[in-house]
Amino acid sequence: MKSVAVVATRAITSLGNLDETWRGLMEGRSALACLKSDGLFGRWPVGLIKSLEGELGTAKRLQALIKLLLADSPLILDDTTLLLAITKGAPDELLSGSAGLRPGQPCDTASYIARELGLKGPVSTISAACTSGTIAVIQGVHRIISGDAKMVAVIGIDILSRFVLAGFASLMALSPQPCRPFDHGRDGLTLGEGAGIMLLCSTEEAHKRNWPILARITGWGAACDAVHITAPDREASGLIASIKKTTDNCCRQVGAINAHGTGTRHNDAMEICAFTTLWGKNNPPFHSVKGAIGHCLGAAGVIEAVLSVESLKRGMIPPSVGLTTPESGIGHITGQKPHALDHPSILSCNSGFGGINASILITKPRAIIRA
């Protein structure tokens, strides 16, 4: 079977570009804050990218984020396959009755990005709630292994919008303060906006083109518990099944876990249940980045996979920003300081509405992945 390599990465978050985001995470900084405006955005903190033009939830803002992400994008060839992970496009234009929705809708956004890059290869949109980014990476891996694509650009992108903020507020899922993943006092999530790109190809193709291999995707899995439309299974059946598939029933060693970690009571409890069920008290150290940049929805999986590659490169796991009092029975979690990576592999996992769960195992090149 072909080995799949990560040959380039890029990310934009409320902390800045990839280097700035990494530095902010390692310093324990949070970009989450309430906007100085009336209405919902004056009440709830968010992870806003301050440099973006355009009103929240509009195509103009979405286009601005796309241009920022694609500036100087490396290695993308015209026959590259594009997989876009997104949940909503620019939904606030629907509320205003604007006729100019393109690229306000998800499928239009993928076509717009393909035109911006001059791509002639296949273009697909993956919209699977908060697992969209991770499932897009998995689909990219499948395209390469099957020989359907030589190179795949996996892009995750989502912007803040009044429509989505109001939806989460109606579910009483938002925290009135910046979210605190895995904290005993956690009381909800914080929304963010951002984008990430991960370029995949076979290791043979990377060697042939003399491209750097930053990491490899060595395991993947997805499962749906189908328990509730918004709440996860309390016994974590879907996430456990996903991780078992990804790690060959936990036979593959995991150095750390980049958890979904939204800061809601039920999501974090479900993830703790999964990790401690699979590994007991000796679970791999895990962390969440959402206390620093917010929950970026369709972009979350790609951004977090990109940050996992950065962790492998630097041999460190960022702290879980916002965590002060860990939940009891939590197992091994990074606290307020960075943690050295004991083994060169990271499990990145996400969970979403409808009970869908997905995970990937990312390893350093030539890393030994079996215990």
pLDDT digits (tens, 9 = 90+) for 149-183: 999 999 999 999 999 999 999 999 999 999 999 99
CB 73 within 8 A of CB 203: no
Give the span between the Cα atoms of 63 and 70, in whole angstroms: 10
Give me the mean pLDDT over the 284-299 stretch. 96
Residue 102 confidence class, pLDDT cut points 50, 70, 90: low
Strand order in the sheet with 191-192: 32-33, 46-47, 191-192
Average pLDDT of the residues of the chain: 91
CB 162 within 8 A of CB 41: yes
HSE toward the beta carbon, residue 8, CA cutoff 13 A: 19
CB 330 within 8 A of CB 240: no
| Cis, peptide link before residue 319, omega less than 30° from 0 | no
Amino acid letter at 243?
A: I
Angle in degrees, CA 206, 65, 189, rounded to 5? 100
Question: How many other CB atoms are there within 10 angstroms of residue 267's CB atom?
Answer: 26
Q: Smallest Cα–Cα separation from 258: which of 108, 113, 133?
A: 133
* Catalytic residue status for 287: no
Give the span between the Cα atoms of 126 and 309, in whole angstroms: 22
Largest CA distance in the chain: 56
Residue 78 confidence class, pLDDT cut points 50, 70, 90: confident
Give the span between the Cα atoms of 46 and 268, in whole angstroms: 19
SS3 category, 345: strand
Question: How many other CB atoms are there within 10 angstroms of residue 251's CB atom?
Answer: 11
**What secondary structure letter does DSSP report for 230?**
S
Extract the tokens encoding 26: 């390692």
Residue 74 confidence class, pLDDT cut points 50, 70, 90: low
Q: Which of 130, 273, 296, 349 is catalytic?
A: 130
**What secondary structure letter does DSSP report for 355?**
G
Cα 112 from chain centroid (whole Å) = 22
* Catalytic residue status for 130: yes
Q: Which of 224, 260, 273, 296 is catalytic?
A: 260
List of domains in the chain: 4-208 (3.40.47.10), 217-363 (3.40.47.10)
Strands 191-192 and 46-47, sheet pairing = parallel
Q: Which of 273, 295, 339, 349 is catalytic?
A: 295
Q: Smallest Cα–Cα separation from 263: which of 238, 290, 284, 236?
A: 290
Give me the mean pLDDT over the 334-360 stretch. 92
Give me the mean pLDDT over the 230-254 stretch. 93
pTM here is 0.94
Residue 360 pLDDT more than 80?
yes
Q: What is the pLDDT of residue 256?
A: 96
